Amino acid sequence: MVLQPSERHNRDRSHGRLGPWCSPTGSPAPLSCETGCGEGSWILVCRLLVPTQVSLLSMEEDIDTRKINNSFLRDHSYATEADIISTVEFNHTGELLATGDKGGRVVIFQREQESKNQVHRRGEYNVYSTFQSHEPEFDYLKSLEIEEKINKIRWLPQQNAAYFLLSTNDKTVKLWKVSERDKRPEGYNLKDEEGRLRDPATITTLRVPVLRPMDLMVEATPRRVFANAHTYHINSISVNSDYETYMSADDLRINLWNFEITNQSFNIVDIKPANMEELTEVITAAEFHPHHCNTFVYSSSKGTIRLCDMRASALCDRHTKFFEEPEDPSNRSFFSEIISSISDVKFSHSGRYIMTRDYLTVKVWDLNMENRPIETYQVHDYLRSKLCSLYENDCIFDKFECVWNGSDSVIMTGSYNNFFRMFDRNTKRDVTLEASRENSKPRAILKPRKVCVGGKRRKDEISVDSLDFSKKILHTAWHPSENIIAVAATNNLYIFQDKVN
């Protein structure tokens, strides 16, 4: 059962993108404190809402958007469909955190600098800049609405004082420059102080313009627009390690772009069959290798991963390596093909491993072993008995993401009821945590949560029948070098920090 790209998109429009390891007693075991992710060691740094009103502020207004505090954002609990966060991404230093939402906005948060008087505030993030990245469009040739929703954000390594990031909706990728300005030029010869042109006859002296201090202003300007290259909906963008090229992937094709060329791209993967009725799978995610600029992987709706080498062929339809786990016939069901579809694929920071997320599990693959994953973690195996109802309410098509920590020793992914899961690869222990408003007091310590499948329920457990499937953690991010995580829950952005940090 494979949905056509257009059909899959219609089912996913309102739902985002297409059992735990236990100790001998049967209860989820806590993470080892040696990893810095021990049970009860995560504390809430801050909870932020997508600041809808900030985007309405004029650049001329005397308001410093960086100083909008968490209490201001927390008071605005009203959220629309456009406010739902659709992607989260730290930059390479972790000092900035960008979110994109369904309304086409990009909001950038900056980490609070540590001070002697407020050492505990190190780790808090405040609004740094916000801008409208994409607008809704209409393709008149195909009678197709193009949503403004931000599907992915990817940062470029910082080369100077400015920051650069890529953002994409279903059809168009944009390169944005985010820069600061705290000085303005004054004393022009041909213009007055208000910027109006002066009469040349009145100019009798020559003045040298000077720079005057001004209130800090953060500007976001589009530097490149990469459009008209995708027939289907873009699900992934990935910056190459050469920092000269990047790729964008849709349901059936992957294109390679040069940052300096916007009017053409090179097609490196094309799995579209001559007859669309013969379509059996679609591309779900793609990513470049972190160190080798010639290598990339992409996943499919059939639960397979293909590793491609651009040195072997210009068109990488023939993969170099093919990763697939043989299916257990005893577990075969009507939903097998749907739940085996991979929603996210990520290289480890070392480049040795690949992590994939399907509906029920997270798997870690060694690049040197293609026949099966070396690690499999059950995210919410207790939902296996509820696949029928999850299919009826379309939740089975939810696209969960997964992330590594900075040392590749812990992985994190989301679940329902605003739960998110962490798995320690060294100790094989895991923990379930919750991002909720009820425990959103700053510096509050997170308590591990447990799900009860049947029988008697303990006081600290929650029944699987009472899980809220409208609350889901689809998008998460991990600081590149520290134990700081960002979790997106609807229009709320939760930032947690390891207590020992």
Tens of pLDDT, residues 270-282: 999 999 999 999 9
Q: What is the mean pLDDT of residues 212-239?
A: 93
| Closest by CA position to 340, among listed 316, 308, 376, 368 | 376
State yes or no: pLDDT of 450 exceeds 80: yes
> Do residues 17 and 472 touch, judged by C-beta distance below 8 A?
no
| Closest by CA position to 230, among listed 151, 133, 295 | 151
Q: Which residues, 6 or more positions from 329, have their beta carbon under 8 angstroms from its beta carbon? A: none
Lowest model confidence (mean pLDDT) among 111-120, 148-157, 354-363, 485-494: 111-120
State yes or no: pLDDT of 22 exceeds 60: no
Question: What one-letter code names the amino acid at 233?
Answer: H
CA distance 148 to 55: 15
CA distance 434 to 415: 10
Predicted pLDDT of residue 195: 74
What are the two backbone dihedrals, phi and then psi, of residue 325, each rounded to the nearest 5 degrees?
A: -95, 125
- pLDDT tens track for 92-130: 999 999 999 999 999 999 998 766 565 555 668 999 999
CA distance 284 to 269: 13
Tokens (6 digits) for 405: 């920590």
CA dihedral (136, 138, 139, 144) positive or negative: positive
Q: Which residues, 6 or more positions from 313, have their beta carbon under 8 angstroms from its beta carbon? A: none
Please give the domain boundaries of the chain with CATH numbers for all domains: 42-50+80-133+227-498 (2.130.10.10)
Q: How far is the CA of 170 from the CAs of 15, 251, 272, in angstroms?
A: 15, 11, 18
Q: Which residues of 38-66 are buried (b: 16+ CB within 10 A; e: fewer)?
A: bbebbbbbbbbbbbbebbeeeeeeeeebe
| 56 DSSP assignment | G
Predicted pLDDT of residue 78: 58
> Do residues 427 and 32 touch, judged by C-beta distance below 8 A?
yes
Are β-strands 253-258 and 245-249 bridged in parallel, bridged antiparallel, or unpaired?
A: antiparallel
Predicted pLDDT of residue 116: 55
Question: For the purposes of burial, counting CB atoms within 10 Å of the CB of 299, is it exposed (0-12), middle (13-18) or buried (19 or more)?
Answer: buried
State yes or no: pLDDT of 287 exceeds 80: yes
Q: What is the mean pLDDT of residues 257-276?
A: 95
| Closest by CA position to 477, among listed 398, 423, 413 | 413
Confidence class for position 71, pLDDT limits 50, 70, 90:
very low
Q: Based on C-alpha coordinates, what's the Rg of the chain?
A: 24
State yes or no: pLDDT of 335 exceeds 80: yes
| Closest by CA position to 410, among listed 28, 20, 38, 27 | 38
Confidence class for position 333, pLDDT limits 50, 70, 90:
confident
Tokens (6 digits) for 345: 């694929």
Tokens (6 digits) for 361: 């599990």
State yes or no: pLDDT of 344 exceeds 50: yes
CA distance 88 to 97: 7
State yes or no: pLDDT of 154 exceeds 80: yes
Predicted pLDDT of residue 190: 83
Q: What is the mean pLDDT of residues 450-470?
A: 84
pTM of the shown model:
0.82
Lowest model confidence (mean pLDDT) among 233-247, 316-330, 348-362, 412-426: 316-330
Lowest model confidence (mean pLDDT) among 57-61, 269-273, 414-418: 57-61
Q: Which is higher by pLDDT, 211 or 364?
A: 364
Tokens (6 digits) for 296: 């990339």
